[in-house]
A and B are shown apart, each in its own frame.
Chain A
Amino acid sequence: DTAVSQTPKYLVTQMGNDKSIKCEQNLGHDTMYWYKQDSKKFLKIMFSYNNKELIINETVPNRFSPKSPDKAHLNLHINSLELGDSAVYFCASSHTLRGDTSETQYFGPGTRLLVL
């Protein structure tokens, strides 16, 4: 049983297109995250949602819009894709109890996005 799942695993698309990546967790966690891993393997957080509320919004182009329909899902929609958006996008989740941020984040398998 996959704890944090992402679809699709691979996404190849043309510049200018709009695409979405979906994430689901079955761990009962209340906080979900999106991270971007660039070609040099550097990982950086993009967004975080706690109980469907946006709590982290890093300096990310507004072409990127996260949506959390419920606590178990956090989707990432990207408008007008650019070559520089090519990367691996990881979803993660954790349990945040009364603001305690010591809980472990568990990661999905990643979505490899290639923009041509």
Chain B
Amino acid sequence: AQSVAQPEDQVNVAEGNPLTVKCTYSVSGNPYLFWYVQYPNRGLQFLLKYITGDNLVKGSYGFEAEFNKSQTSFHLKKPSALVSDSALYFCAVRGSSGNTGKLIFGQGTTLQVKP
């Protein structure tokens, strides 16, 4: 069965410091991995995805994520956090074989960036 785990309910960082939001996954076949961000009372906004190729994926707003097949991880990173990055972040996975496009989401990680 496909699953995604975000081990931290909340991540706190100071503005200007690097941030990491962790994600691990379990899927049959090759994974399609996604990160979304949800601001308060808003919908989900797509940040980036890994399909194939380079393990380091760059996305919107200066975010990037590194796919690590051996550790089955897809951690979200940003070199220098902004207060405006404070939001709820979701990791999601889809298997590449025999599926209908169903996205499985992690439980979400709240990122708090303090000035």
Pick the most buried of A50, A90, A104, A108: most chain B CB atoms within 10 A of its CB: A104
Total count of chain B residues near the partner, CB < 8 A: 24
Mask for A29-45, Cβ within 8 A of B = 1, else 0?
00101000000111111
- Of all A-B residue pairs in the complex, the 6 with the closest CB atoms, nearest first, are A101-B101, A107-B44, A43-B105, A109-B43, A107-B43, A102-B51
CA distance A4 to B71 in the complex (A): 35
Total count of chain A residues near the partner, CB < 8 A: 28
Interface residues of B in 36-93 (CB under 8 A from A): 36, 38, 41-46, 49, 51, 88, 90
Given contacts A43-B44, A43-B105, A106-B46, 20 further A-B contacts (CB under 8 A): A31-B101, A40-B107, A41-B107, A45-B102, A48-B100, A48-B101, A50-B101, A56-B102, A90-B43, A90-B44, A92-B44, A102-B32, A102-B51, A103-B101, A104-B49, A105-B34, A107-B36, A107-B45, A107-B46, A109-B42
